[in-house]
Amino acid sequence: MADDGSLSDPSRPLLMAGPIFGLLNRVYLKFDTKGLIGKKVLDAKLSMLNTDAPGCGETVQGIQVRRVTSGWDPSNLTWANKPSSTDEGAQTITTAYAPDCAPGRLEWPVTGIMQSWASGGNFGLELRGADEASGDDDWRELASAEYGQPDTTPKLTATFESFGEPTIVYPAGSDGVEVFTAPATWRRGMPLAESQAHALDVADTRVEANASTLAPPLVDMVTGEVVTPALTPEGRDVASPPLVGTAYLSNGGAEWSYASEFEGAEETDEDGDGVAGISEPFTLNPRVPMVVNSAQRLKAIAGEILTLDGQIPGADKLIESTIWPERNQVMVQASEVTPELRLGLAQRYGTTTVSIWLRSGLERPSRLLGPNDPDPDIKTNKCQLDKNGKELDCRLKDGIVKNDSWSLGFDMYLNGGSRIGARNGHPCSAGFAWGTKSDNYFITAGHCLPTDMPSTQNVLLTDGNVLGDKAGSSYTTDKGSVIQPAPLGGLHGDLARFKLTTRVSTASIFTSDDFFTNRKSEVVGKWTRSPQKNDEYCTGGYRTGQECGWVVDDPSAMTEYPGDTAGKIETVIPVVAGGRSGKCTWPGDSGGPVYTIIPKGHPGAGKIIAKGIISGGTNAESSGPVFECTNYFTDIRIATRLFGGDIKKRKIG
């Protein structure tokens, strides 16, 4: 693209970067890096064939590669509408190849740029003269993907940290259960194909109905088969029929650069049907091996094992439990393991039923209730301003900002991801609008509005005015998830619902990455299946804003948070455990939306698909790109079982 007013040609075989004859030129490149999300990039390089330059060898200024920070259309790109870029992580090389020395490849180190893409946002790369203001010519002619030869196309290569494998520290035996160590990311890999993931839901339904004769299903990542283990010949007969259903392909992922956003405070409470995603039928024949532990037994052990403090020495160091389908076991994470703990678990459950993942120094997760003080101070901090300099709404002050240009003088709508006043002055985040026009609800985390919260306490706006009334919760302080009354019964994670009395719910959430920005996206659907390992997702609590690049590590976890009372522990069942490298969720993010973004090429591209509600996690912020955070959320589909109804969806089209 040249600074001459012309339209760029994405089909050109040769691209020009840098100033030539006094004319500035820039090159824009886009690579599909979806596979980077959630991974740790150790080394990365951009390589392009250089066919011409001012000379051979080294030049004075060179060509710089930069990270693009806004969207662009290759079919409609001019100097006037070129995207923005940043010098953060930018790299310059001065090597040049002219016809006298034959073409050669130029290679830029782009590790820092690709590490940022691992959080889910890739707008591409920009190549430009390192010093465009100098006026000196220093250019490179570079081969594009249309140059016509496979070995001349632009290449982006990366080295990832190995996921690694568990290392057994103590094998299972007469002295106790197995103990192993492993990297934090050892369970990660490629996401399941949607047909496999949806087939697991079908298999799970069978298991729930036959929990004493079937074991939890899994996908064999080597063969691609869905495996539905059984304990008896009768169970094998139940598990063997083909898994048949429809896979929906538009659930989306954590690529936030696809987002379709809008700004402003003028909203609508109009309900819609959302979007009908792309789907395809599937029929998969399961493999049915015989195992010894039923789903019923493993689920009971996984739920009980976190409650053994005081019964087995060292059990207070157990932090998270889950079913490990690949080994037909329960796996429990511990920050410390003693001989007494190993032996006690073996005596209670058998030597091969439980394995301990030893994670020395593992931080116990916590509820993400906000601080009981004005942090940030809503009186002194302003939201984004409109063109007339008037304050708009934002995560921090959603629904309370006054602006004379609005018909009512204030924004009457509450958006997902905004700050709300919850129990005892601790702020939380709003999740998703729930119900219909006549059912003006929102959902959030259960510990924000627990069952023991006095009925006289209201849900508040952050300016202290009443927002609404609590209308159901699955959580009790100092206990955690609580069994619901008949006929529902069972444990339902960490969810609450409240009814708006002074504002109106709307099917949109804030998708900005800070307190004060006004960007929003429409919610048009919810996930069509349960979470599975390696699903990608974003979070949107009010403290941290939009954070993408999360990956599901465990779709059926059980964990513990410290309670309000010293020594009390709250057990949360079930939750989904995820991880990412970099910034963690913070206190105040509880109740915020967990979601994905519909990919390009699908109906409603760039809009929001609801996946869950933030519960807790680690809340530290790292100073580097390789810190591993843990996040827990409740599956959005559990809210449908608990409260009835559905998320509100924006009308599309």
- pLDDT tens, residue by residue, 100-117: 998 999 999 999 999 888
Q: Which residues contact 119 (CB under 8 A, 6 or more apart)?
A: 37, 547, 548, 549, 580, 581, 582
Share of the chain above pLDDT 70, in %: 96
pLDDT for residue 619: 64
Highest averaged pLDDT of the listed ranges 182-186, 497-501, 592-596: 592-596
> What backbone torsions phi and psi does residue 510 show, to the nearest 5 degrees?
-70, 135
Tell me what the mean pLDDT of segment 13-17 comes to. Answer: 95
Q: Is the per-residue pLDDT at 653 higher than 60?
A: no
What is the β-pairing status of strands 318-324 and 547-562?
antiparallel
Instruction: Give the DSSP per-residue string, 617-629.
Output: E-----SSTTPEE
| Beta bridge partners of residue 203, listed in sequence order | none
Could you list the beta-strand ranges (E) of 101-228.
Answer: 104-109, 125-129, 140-143, 155-160, 167-170, 178-181, 218-219, 226-227
HEC string for 225-268 = CEECCECCHHHHHHHCCCEEEEEECCCCECCHHHCCCECCCCCC
Give the pLDDT score at 623: 40
Residue 621 has pLDDT above 70, yes or no: no
Averaged pLDDT for residues 72-83: 92
pLDDT score at 27: 96
- Of 235-249, 256-270, 493-507, the range with the highest mean pLDDT is 235-249
Give the mean model confidence (pLDDT) for residues 618-643.
Answer: 78
* pLDDT confidence tier of residue 184, bands split at 50, 70 and 90: confident
532-548 burial, b at 16+ Cβ within 10 Å, e below that, comes to bbbbbbbbbbbbbbbbb
pLDDT in the model for residue 465 = 85
Q: Is the pLDDT of residue 312 over 90?
A: yes
For the cut 90, the answer to whether the pLDDT of residue 362 exceeds it is: no
What is the sign of the dihedral through the CA atoms of 583, 584, 589 and 595? positive
Average pLDDT over every residue of 377-384: 84
- pLDDT computed for residue 625 by the predictor: 41
Tell me which residue has tokens 């405070």.
265
Question: What pLDDT does 546 receive?
Answer: 94
Is 621:583 a contact under the CB 8 Å cutoff? yes
- Mean pLDDT of the region 294-307: 96
* Single-letter code of the amino acid located at 484: Q
pLDDT at 622: 41
pLDDT score, position 547: 93
pTM above the 0.85 mark? yes
Mean pLDDT of the chain: 91
Strands annotated E in 461-607: 466-473, 475-476, 480-481, 496-500, 504-510, 520-526, 536-539, 547-562, 569-581, 593-597
Comparison of pLDDT for 273 and 594, the residue scoring more: 594
pLDDT digits (tens, 9 = 90+) for 132-176: 999 899 999 999 999 988 889 999 999 987 778 899 999 999 999
- What pLDDT shows up at residue 626? 46
Q: Say how far apart CA 79 and CA 98 lie, in whole Å.
A: 27
Which pLDDT does position 264 carry in this prediction?
A: 61
CA 421 to chain centre: 25
pLDDT tens-digit series, residues 507-554? 999 999 888 988 999 999 999 999 999 999 999 999 999 999 999 999
Rounded to an integer, what distance in angstroms lies between the CA atom of residue 516 and that of residue 268?
21
267 falls in which pLDDT band (50, 70, 90)? low
Asked if the model's pLDDT at residue 624 lies above 50, the reply is: no
Residue pLDDT, tens place only, 407-423: 777 778 899 999 998 88
Tell me the mean pLDDT in the region 287-309.
96
Query: What integer is the mean pLDDT of 627-640?
Result: 92
Whether the predicted pLDDT of 300 surpasses 70: yes
Instruction: Give the distance between the most distant pair of CA atoms in the chain.
Output: 84
Among the residue ranges 93-107, 365-379, 381-395, 551-565, the one predicted with the least confidence is 365-379
